Structure 1
Amino acid sequence: MGPKTPSRGAQVKADITQKLASTIDSDSSLTPEQAMRKVTMDMLANNPFVPPKGCPVNDLPPELLAYIFSVGTKMEAEEEYDEAEEEEEFMDEFDLGDGWTDEEDEGDFDQRMTKAKAGKEVVRKDGEAMDVDGEVEEEQEEQEETQERVLPFQVLVSHVCRHWREVAIESPELWTTLTFTEGPPFDKSKTWIERSKGLPLHIHIDCTIPEVEEHEFFDEALQAHYSEPRAGPAHDSAPPVTAVTHGRQYAEEHNIITPHVGRWQSLEVTASVYDYIHLLLSRLAECPAAPLLEVLELYHYEDCEDYETFRPVEFREPFLPFQGNAPKLRDVALWGVHLDWDRSLSFLTGLRDLELTYHAKDVRPSYATFKQMITSSPEIRTLSLCLSGPQEHNEETNDWGTEPIEILSLKDLVLCYHEAQYAIALVQKLSVPNVHSLALDFDGEDYSEFVRQLTRPMPKVKKSILAGLEHMKISGLPCDNQSIDMMFEQLGGLKTINLNCSGEEEEQLFRRLMKPPANKIYCPNLHTITTTGIDGAEMRAFIEARKAAGVPVKRVMMSDEDEVEEKDERWLREHLEELEFFEPSDSEEYVDITDAESGDEMDI
């Protein structure tokens, strides 16, 4: 038997004894207590669990510190969160109108330092909350933590210490995203524009109506706006107080961003009523060229029952934004917002993503204009047409002609809410042999013939659009079993499917996929299924059936609103590589196809 290895504690004790003796021998003036203190400090000098003196991060070059701030700002922007709740919390808990100019910020910082020296306030020093005695005050710490949660990352780091503040303020890339959520007189936004120092700007303006109106400046602006008489049938009576005039007040009284149109890289505007969209479009028509603009997203969310003709009629006038000059525009989303389509062809070209949604029939582009929009974008990857697209086909005049629209670059296609005959005519014209993701959402009539059309060869190629699909989302598709079988027979390459089975027709899709007719196996390469409206017992039966057929599913995602008993969940986890639960969207207006291998997403 070899020598016994000393325990960890014994080894540490021996090391301390040896170092203590050595320290006393080297300096006989030290008392045992002083020697022990010195040994302890020496042993802890390189201990990773003991914080170093000072703030080592401040030894980094300012350029590297600025890069860290930039990464943090981007990470925060990419996080998924409920934007409405975030904005409401932000405005409730932090005064956005206070301390945004550099002068006010500096004065506020110096004032807090002075108060701290007098023992009146806790300040942040090198990232640690302390009072003048070095003790953390619990109440103040909680307040600071609350403020940290609601402050934007770049503002938060600028309030840590003077050095960080100087680096942050002199890093223009931190201040390029503008939201105007602070309200008039928009001091924050003006300051951020100044700090951005000429870099490209990303602009997000939300003028939708909050569920609960709580902010006084909205109320006051609206009352003032609607106290003035407005002519026309659409304004015979004053509408209820809403947030829309916040955006109107910005547009009418605060000309902040239009002088910087040459710096715009992205513009996203959402509104609940069209009078603000009309005002916005009229202002965009007055703007000069937007040479850096890459993303243009305009969303009008007002509920509408009739899509035959555009209303309100007085706002039907189309506009040409940026005088038709936006040479770098690549991503366009227009929800219920129409342009002067023919003249806009000067910049609706070279697109990567095009989303047209909720357009009344009389304000849609002509087929010829729509076709030119697509064919002049040889690198387009995503096309989303939801209750929109080219003007309806007239069979008598054959206004759509005989030539198909060939889109070889297209990867993702979304078709929603069209009437069955329109949808059939549309897919008859599309030649998209390289599409790998398809999203469908229809209701209100029988779409069996539309599904059969999907199974037929596309123009100019010998295969159907279904034959090349890897990912599919079906939120609504009323059709008969025969057309379902014809569709599934062609989905041999399908890898992921997302089924909303809230209705009887869609639930039948799930059943046919689980138990196809005799001697058939549908979607043999399917490895991931996402469902809404399917309970745990049904999913268990599906997994068992697929496994018995020799085509097992590996990954399942289910709505957390569907009933899944504990025993079924346990069984699913044992027989799947992955089981996840997700919170379904409140609205079926949003459809996403996720590439389970690449992680790419397409949202509409």
Structure 2
Amino acid sequence: MLEEQLSTLSIDSSPTLPIARLPNELLARIFFLAAMETRHDTIPAPFIVSQTCRRWRDVALSTGDLWKFISFNFPLSSVQYLRANSMLSRSDTFPLDLLMDFRDPSWDWEEDPHGFTSNGMQSVIRLLEPHLDRLEAADILLDTWAPMHTFLSETQKLDVPSLPALKRLSLSRCNAYFAFKGQTFQPQHLRDPLPLFGGIPLPGLSHLSLVGVHIDWSAAASSLGNLTSLELKYHAPDVLPTSKEFADLIAGSPDLRHLSVIGSCPSGAPGSTLISALTLSHFTLGFVDVDDAVQFVSSLHFPALQSLSLEDVRSGLDPTQPIQDASILLECFARMTSSTIPLHRLRSLNLNEINATQEVLDSFFLVLSSVTEMDLSESIPLASLEPSFGVAPCPSLRTLQYHSYNDWYAVHSLVCSRREHRVPLHNVHVIFQQEPRDVQLLLQAGVLVTIDTSSDSEENESSYSFRSHSP
């Protein structure tokens, strides 16, 4: 802990310590980095360093951006209000970086009662409201909807024409189970959407993440015109944007580069609306229902795509659910023309918990002529990447990360086969859940092996790696 380390120093009585010879500018930079890393600590770093010695206090109080990291954590207390009020004053006119993490460590998702309520959110917003025009970044993490609704409603009538400093916003209702097919949003009486910050312009907002949080989608396109990164995750199906609303949102941000849609495929008839993002380079799709995913993908137009990530998230939400057959989804991608989603120009591919027939996988991988790096889970048989009849799938592939239970033989076979056919893998990293029977064979083949038992009980959780020089 920073507090414990600093308590062992006697700065005033030891002027010859190396740290005492640092110039104020470098000292301020160190304090700033410490402030970034201690937001969840009981006592944030700015308060510790400002009470260590006279010089440190002078430096801290004259460094306005040291106090910009405003944090509130569960459970909310009067001490947090006092500290936040001091930091708001000491940060002067510097942009603010706000963190509200009111998640109950006991994973309490019950709306009523809950340890953090709408009243708590209302009091925090009223403290912050005079300074919101300085807001540069905000992360709000909640278990329940009522306080999130309060945040959205309390910020409807800000006394500012816009929020020009806001660059990054992440709003999370951390309950992914609403994304199950057939679920409806709860509580129903707070279901009606609200415009983000009342619909005022957010000209500097480049990153927006909405996890289980819906807004007035039809109003969003007009206020969100400069997004470069958009993430929609785990919404209840009945509050998702329609295909038309989603298409308008995407079209309203002509410089969009990163898009993640996880458990939140927009609704609409297949092909009824073209969803076009001409500059999009990275696309992540996590689906609960493979048919919905196919319907969504069939409407996409991402001609500049370079990185694709696909994941079946249904089994993650409910381990009793089997991994779906995603063959029709891979076939849908493979059928896309070079002017819609150019698979032949992809450079990076991530497939997690994707299950498909061998025939479909073979056809899919043959299209990926430019992919240089892959991240695969064990649901993908590595034999699909081995050369066959003189044809090498993914001939440009050089870097592979593979998550497996203990399938060391398939890894060794793939590495040797591609080397023999002169399409070698240069970097192979395999993450096993238990140590393979003969790790030396993999090491001799140049494979980096990590044993990760984090899926076991916390008492046995560990991770360690084996590495050798490539042959």
Aligned equivalent of 2:358: 481
Counterpart amino acid of residue 292 in structure 1? A
State which of 165, 183, 191 in structure 2 corresponds to 1:316: 191
Shift of 1:285: 1.8
- The answer to whether the 8 Å contact 1:357/1:388 transfers is yes
Counterpart amino acid of residue 431 in structure 2? S
* SS of the residue 1:203 aligns to: strand
Q: Does 2:275 correspond to 1:387?
A: no
Q: Does 2:331 correspond to 1:452?
A: yes
How big is each residue's C-alpha offset from its partner over 1:357-389, in whole Å with a ceiling of 9 and x where there is no partner? 122232222322221211221111101111224
Which of 471-480 and 182-191 deviates more?
Answer: 182-191
- Count residues in correspondence: 425
Aligned equivalent of 1:179: 71
Cα distance change, pair 407–465 in 1 and its aligned pair in 2 (3 A) = same
* SS of the residue 1:269 aligns to: strand
Aligned equivalent of 2:403: 532
**Which whole-Å CA distance do the structure 2 matches of 1:292 and 1:348 have between them?**
14
State which of 342, 345, 348 in structure 1 corresponds to 2:221: 345
**Which whole-Å CA distance do the structure 1 matches of 2:219 and 2:299 have between them?**
24
Shift of 1:558: 2.7
Shift of 1:70: 3.0
**Which whole-Å CA distance do the structure 2 matches of 1:250 and 1:334 have between them?**
18
How big is each residue's C-alpha offset from its partner over 1:97-152, in whole Å with a ceiling of 9 and x where there is no partner? xxxxxxxxxxxxxxxxxxxxxxxxxxxxxxxxxxxxxxxxxxxxxxxxxxxxxxx4
Shift of 1:516: 4.9
TM value normalised by structure 2: 0.81
**Which whole-Å CA distance do the structure 2 matches of 1:253 and 1:331 have between them?**
23
Cα distance change, pair 368–462 in 1 and its aligned pair in 2 (3 A) = closer
Aligned equivalent of 1:495: 372
- The answer to whether the 8 Å contact 2:28/2:60 transfers is yes
Shift of 1:342: 1.2
Counterparts in 2 of 1:498-517, with a 5 A limit?
498-501=375-378, 506-508=379-381, 510-513=382-385, 515-517=386-388
State which of 251, 254, 262 in structure 1 corresponds to 2:133: 262
Aligned equivalent of 1:411: 281
Cα distance change, pair 375–254 in 1 and its aligned pair in 2 (3 A) = closer
Which of 280-289 and 302-311 deviates more?
Answer: 302-311
Which protein has the bigger helix share? 1
Shift of 1:278: 1.5
- The answer to whether the 8 Å contact 1:297/1:334 transfers is yes
**Which whole-Å CA distance do the structure 1 matches of 2:124 and 2:252 have between them?**
38
Shift of 1:351: 0.6
- The answer to whether the 8 Å contact 1:210/1:243 transfers is no
Counterpart amino acid of residue 276 in structure 2? E
Shift of 1:206: 0.9
How big is each residue's C-alpha offset from its partner over 1:156-181, in whole Å with a ceiling of 9 and x where there is no partner? 43344211121012111111111123
Which of 254-263 and 328-337 deviates more?
Answer: 254-263
* SS of the residue 1:413 aligns to: strand
- The answer to whether the 8 Å contact 1:370/1:389 transfers is no
Shift of 1:455: 1.1
Give unpaired runs (5+ residues) of structure 2: 1-13, 315-322, 457-471
Aligned equivalent of 1:551: 423
Aligned equivalent of 1:190: 85
Counterparts in 2 of 1:236-275, with a 5 A limit?
239=113, 242-245=114-117, 248-252=119-123, 255-275=126-146
Shift of 1:53: 6.9
Counterpart amino acid of residue 297 in structure 1? S
Counterparts in 2 of 1:87-98, with a 5 A limit?
87=40, 90-91=41-42, 96=43
How big is each residue's C-alpha offset from its partner over 1:424-465, in whole Å with a ceiling of 9 and x where there is no partner? 23222222122111110126543222211211233xx45753
**Which whole-Å CA distance do the structure 1 matches of 2:157 and 2:236 have between them?**
25
- The answer to whether the 8 Å contact 1:337/1:359 transfers is yes
Aligned equivalent of 2:173: 300
**Which whole-Å CA distance do the structure 1 matches of 2:394 and 2:137 have between them?**
40
Shift of 1:336: 1.1
Aligned equivalent of 1:201: 96
* SS of the residue 2:222 aligns to: coil
Counterparts in 2 of 1:564-603, with a 5 A limit?
564-565=436-437, 567-568=438-439, 570-576=440-446, 578-580=448-450
Shift of 1:211: 3.0
Give unpaired runs (5+ residues) of structure 1: 1-51, 78-85, 97-151, 214-221, 223-233, 587-604
- The answer to whether the 8 Å contact 1:207/1:272 transfers is yes
Shift of 1:543: 2.0
* SS of the residue 1:408 aligns to: coil
State which of 251, 254, 259 in structure 2 corresponds to 1:375: 251
**Which whole-Å CA distance do the structure 1 matches of 2:365 and 2:403 have between them?**
19
Cα distance change, pair 417–519 in 1 and its aligned pair in 2 (3 A) = same
Cα distance change, pair 154–573 in 1 and its aligned pair in 2 (3 A) = farther
Counterparts in 2 of 1:267-286, with a 5 A limit?
267-286=138-157
Shift of 1:69: 3.0
- The answer to whether the 8 Å contact 1:437/1:471 transfers is yes
Shift of 1:564: 2.5
**Which whole-Å CA distance do the structure 2 matches of 1:330 and 1:413 have between them?**
16
* SS of the residue 2:146 aligns to: helix
Cα distance change, pair 542–210 in 1 and its aligned pair in 2 (3 A) = same
**Which whole-Å CA distance do the structure 1 matches of 2:116 and 2:361 have between them?**
45
Which of 201-210 and 384-393 deviates more?
Answer: 384-393
Cα distance change, pair 511–284 in 1 and its aligned pair in 2 (3 A) = farther
Aligned equivalent of 1:561: 433
Q: Does 2:390 correspond to 1:519?
A: yes
Cα distance change, pair 323–384 in 1 and its aligned pair in 2 (3 A) = same
Shift of 1:271: 1.0
Cα distance change, pair 307–330 in 1 and its aligned pair in 2 (3 A) = farther
Shift of 1:210: 0.4
Cα distance change, pair 277–71 in 1 and its aligned pair in 2 (3 A) = closer
**Which whole-Å CA distance do the structure 2 matches of 1:354 and 1:438 have between them?**
15
Aligned equivalent of 2:460: none
**Which whole-Å CA distance do the structure 1 matches of 2:15 and 2:94 have between them?**
38
Report 1 or 2 for greater relative contact order, CA contacts < 8 Å, sequence distance ≥ 6.
2
* SS of the residue 1:355 aligns to: strand
**Which whole-Å CA distance do the structure 1 matches of 2:261 and 2:352 have between them?**
15
**Which whole-Å CA distance do the structure 1 matches of 2:449 and 2:426 have between them?**
9
Aligned equivalent of 1:593: none
Q: Does 2:105 correspond to 1:210?
A: yes
* SS of the residue 2:155 aligns to: helix
Counterpart amino acid of residue 162 in structure 1? R
Shift of 1:490: 1.0
**Which whole-Å CA distance do the structure 2 matches of 1:484 and 1:529 have between them?**
17
How big is each residue's C-alpha offset from its partner over 1:322-362, in whole Å with a ceiling of 9 and x where there is no partner? 22122211111111111111122221222100111122232
- The answer to whether the 8 Å contact 2:305/2:342 transfers is yes
Cα distance change, pair 212–335 in 1 and its aligned pair in 2 (3 A) = closer
Cα distance change, pair 507–179 in 1 and its aligned pair in 2 (3 A) = same
* SS of the residue 2:153 aligns to: helix
- The answer to whether the 8 Å contact 1:378/1:409 transfers is yes
- The answer to whether the 8 Å contact 2:343/2:368 transfers is yes
How big is each residue's C-alpha offset from its partner over 1:387-414, in whole Å with a ceiling of 9 and x where there is no partner? 2243222x6xx7x24xx33322111101
Shift of 1:552: 2.1
Which of 156-165 and 491-500 deviates more?
Answer: 156-165
